[in-house]
Chains A and B, each alone.
Chain A
Amino acid sequence: MAVTSVTTTMAGAINYSVVTDTSADWSSVSNSTYFYDKADKLVHYKNSSGTILEIFTQSGLTYFAEAQNTSSPNATTPVDSLTAVSSETNADFAIIPKGNGAIIADIPDGLVSGGNKRGTGAVDLQLSRLSNSDVASGNNSVISGGYRNRAQNTDASIGGGQDNTASGTQSRVGGGLSNTASSDYSTVGDGTSNVASASRTTVAGGSSCTATAYAASTLGGFGNSSSTSYACNLGGISNTASGEGSSVVGGNGNVASGSYSLAGGTSSVANSYGSVVFGVGGNANSVRNRNVFANATTGDAQKSTFIFRQRTTDATLTTFTIEGTGASTTNQITLSNNSGYRFKGTIIAKQSGSTNVSAWDIDGLLVRGANAAATTLLIGNVTLVQNTPAWGTPTLAADTSNGGLRIQIQGAGATNIQWVANIETTEVIYA
């Protein structure tokens, strides 16, 4: 321990007059004195009150300590660190660029090594690139890590992974490999080769899955496509949800192409509005609201349920259809070529504002040959359950224009009646 008086005369510098060996000597230094301490190699000032004021700190940092760690496992690749050393128990650590600057882990050089200039306010911590454009180039975009990732639009982000692209505004790829979120608010969570390419689409994971229309989503699986607005695939393989608001719940090779249709199982085709098809190889055959369960190859062995709903206001003989409009191939029990249908069901009708109600049971057998004209009703029974109001008895016939079953109903004059039918069919197709 020693306190030594010296004289320094360095122009433009702080000239100290005392040298100490260690901080233990500082109490011996006179007030209002600059002094140099050999231990910390810094100049200090002891003011008129005897308080030691720090003029400099090591490395020019007051609140951080730098260090290098070469201990195992860091012998080969040492860790150089910067540690907050606040006197408080806890201290945040902020890295604050100036103005519109970005926070980056490489210095942009326009080359693969440093990449292109980052977007304003971007955060790009990715250290490996294959191209100079593998950077967070969008304003306020983020790449947290990974390899060959690109966040190319405002607020786009990529968590990690490889070869991912977030190119829509506020789009996001969590990770995985070769995923693309290319429209605004689109998301790919993970997986491989997934594409969310329309606004507000989501592919959560899986492989080679797509969500390509507004607000469509695919949860996962392989090769699943949600390609119309609000469509959804939950999983499975090679499924397609291509009707607005349609869903495939899983399975393999299912198609829900009708609006608001639902398919599952294997090779099910729900290709009409509101149709539901499950099992193996079922086909709604474009008839709306049809519920199918099958063990089939393209509809050749299946059962269906049809719900008809229609209103009458007079005594006109009316063809009963599923949604109460003019008869067509899509709103009746329409057969495929070379098929036979056994059907059973109930027709019920109720008057508005009244307790008048009538019901009939129906059953029959219908066959269709090579075309619609070759449709024949072999059996068509209508059995009265009750018809106190004396409305017209429903009739059954072959519809040789549309190739199906024609049901006709007859209400009463100036009477509002709602008619409902629940009909089940057992179906075979065999050419």
Chain B
Amino acid sequence: MENYNTLLIFGYGQTQLITDTDSKIVNSDELLSLNAVINDIYSKKPLENNSQQDYIRIAIYNNDFSDWVNGNPNDYFKVPYDELNKALIDSLVLEIKNI
């Protein structure tokens, strides 16, 4: 499992990886493994939540949870980390580290 603290995916087009020792910002369109992570999180949206698949920020807090923020409090949702596809996240973290 890749080591990181927080992964932030911004709607304006950048993705930020935060570790204990580094903060790295890359353009999201360079990341081949990004959409799979986004789709995985969105697919775990609670049934009663009506959020569209747009976002201002998607945060993944390692071993804690992911939250989806699009500026409308009613559309906010959280997914427990245990429910996320860790293999997809690992691939994304590794891809960012290797840029």
Contacts and interface: CB of A to CB of B under 8 A. Distances in A.
A274 to B, nearest CB: 14
A257 B25 contact: yes
A88 to B, nearest CB: 54
A238 interface: yes
B25 A271 contact: yes
B84 interface: no
* B14, B18, B65, B73: residue with the most chain A Cβ atoms closer than 10 Å: B18
Interface residues of B, number: 25
Given A225-B69, A255-B12, A259-B23, 10 more contacts: A207-B73, A210-B67, A222-B76, A223-B69, A240-B10, A242-B6, A243-B23, A252-B71, A253-B71, A255-B57
21 contacts: A197-B61, A197-B64, A207-B73, A208-B73, A208-B78, A210-B59, A213-B6, A223-B67, A225-B8, A228-B23, A238-B57, A238-B70, A240-B8, A244-B23, A253-B56, A253-B71, A255-B10, A255-B57, A267-B12, A271-B14, A298-B12
Interface residues of A, number: 30
Please classify the interface of chain B as helix (H, G, I), strand (E, B), loop, or mixed, using the class held by over half of its residues: strand
B91 interface: no
A227 interface: yes
Contacts of A253: 11, 56-57, 71
A195 B69 CA distance: 15
Contact of A238 (B18, B23, B56): B56
B5 interface: yes
A247 to B, nearest CB: 15
A338 to B, nearest CB: 15
B12 A222 contact: no
A265 to B, nearest CB: 13
